[in-house]
A and B are shown apart, each in its own frame.
Chain A
Amino acid sequence: MTVIAMPTDEEPQVTNIAIENIRYITENRVLTSAEASFLTELTILAEPGNRLKTTSVREIAKKLKRSERRTRDLLRSLLRKSILFEGGNQKGIFIHPEIMVVGDPENVPLWLVEEVMKLRQRKEGPAWPLVLMPGRRRGVWRWRG
């Protein structure tokens, strides 16, 4: 008889995608098909807190099995659209947490929300329907308007 042990303490790493904001991207054609596909692949290389583990184009291209040139073009394009952004206080490249959150979406750290607020103040990036606002200890999700 095969007995399957089901440990209860392990959880897979997940990327939480904000449905309303993805719908906004689809409806307003914010991203091309290639960019959307690349963005999803990039989440694999992100750690909780949405920071990319590596910023080297060569490494990213190697891990995602893409050409360096294409990877560079797509990264540049996503940075221009503010889907990816360079941190101000924290070093590194981040995936915009209002699109997808690596880890728990109810536990977005305040420093990441501050980075998003700065982007919003500079009016960079689309006007997402679902936005992150600073809460007392972590980010909270609110509908725009």
Chain B
Amino acid sequence: MKTMQRRMIQAGMIVACAMVCVTMSRAQEKTALKVELPKPMFVGTPKNIKTENLERPLRPGQKRPAIMVPADVTIVSKGKDVTGSDSAPIIGDMELLTDGDKEGSDGSYTEFGPGQQWVQIDLGETCEIYAIAVWHYHAQARVYRDMVVQIGQDADFITDVEAVFNNDHDNSAGLGIGKDKEYIETNSGRVIDAKGKKGRYVRLYSNGSTAGEMNHYIEVEVFGKPAS
């Protein structure tokens, strides 16, 4: 009887170990990141722009290559504190950037002052960041200038700063010449592969758009998990 009990305990332990292993391996297993998109606000894009500095718009039905992230990655930015170079936005407020509302209509976006501005999200703890999705303004086809996205460990972005996106091709922002391309804003926003970089803060720069000198943000989503 005791032997029977011992065997059952052993079997149970084996199953439990197997389950932990499976769970761990699943956590390491990568899946395609799914981003929930808002409703499109306009149809079509500006005509025939083919400069090498501008990313070609997607054809109808065409999708960008998926970003592979661990299965346990979540949105770690939702409801987190947002600060910025323009502490008193012209329209809206900082909270709108992380409130989960990605619609392009009035009342969903925050408008910051003219010229180069930045916004910064404090994730509250150091995280492994796998992707950053950003929607500037998608009620009209426009291109935001000098977009630079950085991940940092301190709020002042002095040490361990890493740029995960930079399309400032002439270094007008003074953060280095970027190799990424500019793109036309749509409801798809822009999902940036952050490749699991560690950091507590995410900072996004922009310098107006083809429509004017103001800077806009509808939503920023940071996909990651607490750093182990």
Bound pair: A and B? no
